[in-house]
Structure formats: structure tokens, C-alpha cells
Amino acid sequence: MDKIGKILNGVDIMIQKPKGTYDLFGENAEKVIYLKKIIEALMDKYNYKYFETPIFETSELFHRGVGETTDIVNKETYDFKDRGDRNLTLRPEGTAGIVRSFIENKLYTLSMPVKAWYFGPMFRYERPQAGRYREFRQFGVEAFGSNDPMMDAEVISIIVNFFKLLGLKGIKVNINSLGDKESRENYRTALLDYFKPYINDLCEDCRNRYEKNPLRILDCKVDSDKDIMKNAPKLTDYLNEESKEHLARVKTYLDSMNIDYVVNPGIVRGLDYYTHTVFEVEANIKGFGSQNVLGAGGRYNHLVENIGGPSVPGVGFAIGIERLMLALEAENINLTEEKNIDVYAFSQGLNDNSYLMNIVNMIRLNGFNVEMDYLNRNMKNNFKKADKLKAKYIIIIGSTEVENNILTVKNNETLEEFKIKKEEIIDFLDSKLGDINEN
Ligand code: AMP
């Protein structure tokens, strides 16, 4: 490993990135930019609007928003005090911040629905492994103001169509219903009765969950293989008529869009705020295990109220960008766009490069991609560099060019050479490259 630290008082200090984080550059950075472009275009199709909320929020927001009994809030948040003694938390997920923003900016006074999308880093103190980081990126959507199952189905269709657009195959959509408040309350009672005789067989976390939120027991990673878990009452059996009807309509709408799904009663999600529809979208990649879940979400009809706003229903999802990139890689789907350099420009034998700077600036402003020589390379090395960049045209500037207000321009493929007047260079490049660049 390269040492990038410095010697301080004779002690070698090596500065490395924090555990569970990574540097985004090169090909992966290109992929993220490309994905974001696809997402932007997709979101326009559905009329969702871009949101950016702070990367840190008051800790209280996540306690009320994500839920006191979730692993995310109990074990995984990055909490800190700022210099003004405020309790702040790096956001572990995107929904709570968007909901806060929706309330604080009184967006509930707008015509409903309000449909938002976001893209950005999230932070969770988890055990890092492939597809699991402490800083990772999510793309997510939130749709406020409609309790209609059409909205649940639209949100699910966005994930499915996004993955289809990327060419991902073998995607499985698992859906489930957690029911409304009444159904959940009935189910909670049933779970308390069921687990009571087994309480000592459960892990310590589950014993706590029993007290605070027994539904979470079903999401336990430690006890998940035990028979008592497999035979536990199923929420589907406790849904009231309204909740059953909601799920049935979501299914009908998914069918109408030809979206395949499986109703999977095991999906309860790691966040407290869900009501009615919850879903997880999985890839099927060998060796991925639970990292196969690329995106997940659901309906949260009481979250806006819980965070201090009016009663407004919502539904949304989040997709992990790193996990998506791993899945794309596993299926050999190449995301990078070839970005060509139109022009490579350099000077020879000049002390003052003002003319070069002026030309390069002008060409860039006119829409061409330009790279130039900053290292005073000799002629041979400049040509080599232009080849390496696959530049289509080369502009060479020497004292004759400056004196006569002209440019020497070379087609880097045919090696044909042109003498072009400075004020005619844009027309020249337009005539040669305009059509190619528009593709
Ligand atoms: P969640 O917010 O927990 O519902 O997660 C939604 C999606 O975010 C998951 O399906 C993953 O793709 C991604 N995700 C969650 N936690 C992590 C993590 N620690 N590292 C990378 N991706 C994650």
C-alpha cells in the first residue's frame, strides 16, 4: 500500500480512508455519473422532482422517523455533537429527511401528489463486506398525498422499469402487506401471545424487541433459522378487509403493467414506519446472499404525522447504487459512455501561451471537448498524447500561427493538414464534427 502520510517528529503517519468507505474515481465514477443521467431522464418520464436535503440532520429526526427499535437507529447511526452542543446524525437513509423537508417547507399545501426523488450518500455503521459499506449511495423516490394503490404500483414499476432499462435480468419483486394500524395492532397481540412461551429461546435483541416492537423479531438475523420463527403467525392472516383490498388492488395494477411479483409474507423491512405495501427487489447473483436485495421500500401513511406534520400518506423506495453496480458487473452490463476528445491543442516554442488559452477557451465554449498540453511536451510526445486521448483533431500553435492569426489543424486520422483562420475555426470544427457529436 502506498504511504500517503508524512513524517511528523520522526513518526510515520499513514492516512487512509475510514473503514467501510471507498474513493469514487475512474471507471466507477463514470458509471455513477451515467446512472444518474439515466435516473434523471427516467424521473422526468414519471414527473418526479429532484430534492437535496442535508447530509446531517438532528438526531431526533431519525429516532422519530426511522424508529427507536430499528437496528439502523439503535446500532448503526453516526451520531455527533457539533460545536454548539447540538445532537446531529449523518443520515442513514433518505426518507426521514425528505419528509422533514416536506413538512418544514409546507409542501402539503401544494396540489397533491408531491413526487420527489433524491440521490446521495447515506451512512450506517455496519460490518463492511462486498455490497455493504459504511458510506454508500442511494437513489430513492417518495410520493406524498395519495393512499391509492395506483401510487404503490407506480413506485414499484419505477424500480422494475429502471432495472429493465439497464438490461438487468433475473429480477424478482417480493411484495407484502403490513396492513393498516388496526391490522398491525391485532397482529402484534398475536405475536406477543405466540412468542411468550419461547421468550428464553430468543436472542437478547429479540427479547428487547418483544417488549418494544415484536414485529421486529421476524426480521432478526440471529434467530431467523429457528422453527419458532418459521411457525410464527403470519401477518397476512391478520389483515382487515381494507388492508386486504389495498393489497389486492396493488396486485391488480402490477398485473396491468405486466410486472411479475411474488407475495412473500416474510418481508417485514428493517424500518418501523411502513404500513400496507412493503416490497424488496432482488437480483439473483450467485454468492451475493442477502446483498442480492438491490432496492426496497413501501408505504408509510403515518410517518408525516409522526414527524410533526399533518396526516399525509406516502410511499417510496431506495436503491443501493453500489449494489446495483455490482449486479450490473456480474451480468457483464457495461455502463460507461465513451467520451471522445474532439480537439487536442498545443503550442511549440512559445513563451507566452495566451493565444493557445484563448483558442482553447473559445472552442470549449462552443461545445467541443478539448484537452491541451500543460507540460510543454515536444512535438513527438504531443502527438502520442493526442493518440492516447483518441483526439479527432489536433491544433498546433507556433510563432507563425500567432503572427498571422491562423491555426494549424490536423485530422488525427487521415493526417490531412489545414491552415485555418482563427475566426473560422468554429465553423471548421462544426462542419467536420457537428454531425458526429449530435449522435
Ligand atoms: P434500506 O434503506 O435498508 O431499505 O436499503 C435499501 C437499499 O440500500 C438496499 O437494498 C441496498 O441496496 C442499499 N443498502 C442498504 N444498506 C447498505 C449498505 N450498508 N451498503 C450498501 N448498500 C446498502
pLDDT attached to residue 2: 43
Cα(147) to centroid of ligand 1, in Å? Answer: 25
The four Cα atoms 387, 393, 396, 397 give a dihedral, to 10 degrees, of -140
Cα(152) to centroid of ligand 1, in Å? Answer: 20
**Residue with CA closest to ligand 1 atom 8:** 320
pLDDT attached to residue 150: 98
Tens digits of residue pLDDT in 267-313: 876 566 789 999 999 988 777 777 789 999 999 999 999 999 999 99
Determine whether the shortest distance from the Cβ of 323 to ligand 1 is under 6 A: yes
Q: Is the dihedral of CA 81, 82, 87, 93 positive or negative?
A: negative
Q: State which of 293, 294, 299 you would mutate to test the pocket of ligand 1, scoring each by most atoms of that ligand within 8 A of its C-beta.
A: 293
Alpha-carbon gap, residue 258 to 161, rounded angstroms: 11
> What's the chain's Rg over C-alpha atoms?
28
Determine whether the shortest distance from the Cβ of 293 to ligand 1 is under 6 A: yes
**Residue with CA closest to ligand 1 atom 18:** 132
Q: How many helices (DSSP H) and strands (DSSP E) are in the chain?
A: 15, 18
* Sequence-ordered list of residues with C-beta below 8 angstroms from that of 254, at least 6 positions apart, any chain: 153, 156, 157, 173, 175, 261
DSSP code, position 126: -
Domain locations in the chain?
A: 11-180+240-330, 343-438
Q: State which of 22, 77, 91, 122 you would mutate to test the pocket of ligand 1, scoring each by most atoms of that ligand within 8 A of its C-beta.
A: 122
From 65, 66, 60, 114, select the one nearest 88 (Cα to Cα): 60
Determine whether the shortest distance from the Cβ of 267 to ligand 1 is under 6 A: no
**Residue with CA closest to ligand 1 atom 14:** 320
Index of the ligand 1 atom closest to the CA of residue 94: 2
Cα(145) to centroid of ligand 1, in Å? Answer: 25
Index of the ligand 1 atom closest to the CA of residue 134: 19
Index of the ligand 1 atom closest to the CA of residue 126: 19
Alpha-carbon gap, residue 328 to 322, rounded angstroms: 10
Cα(116) to centroid of ligand 1, in Å? Answer: 19
Does pTM top 0.75 for this prediction? yes
Superfamily of domain 343-438: Anticodon-binding domain (3.40.50.800)
Determine whether the shortest distance from the Cβ of 21 to ligand 1 is under 6 A: no
Cα(168) to centroid of ligand 1, in Å? Answer: 18
Which CATH code for domain 11-180+240-330?
3.30.930.10
pLDDT attached to residue 435: 62
Cα(77) to centroid of ligand 1, in Å? Answer: 14
pLDDT attached to residue 11: 63
Which positions of the chain have pLDDT values less than 70?
Answer: 1-12, 69, 269-272, 435-439
Contact 224, 168 (CB under 8 A): no
pLDDT attached to residue 314: 98
Alpha-carbon gap, residue 100 to 43, rounded angstroms: 21
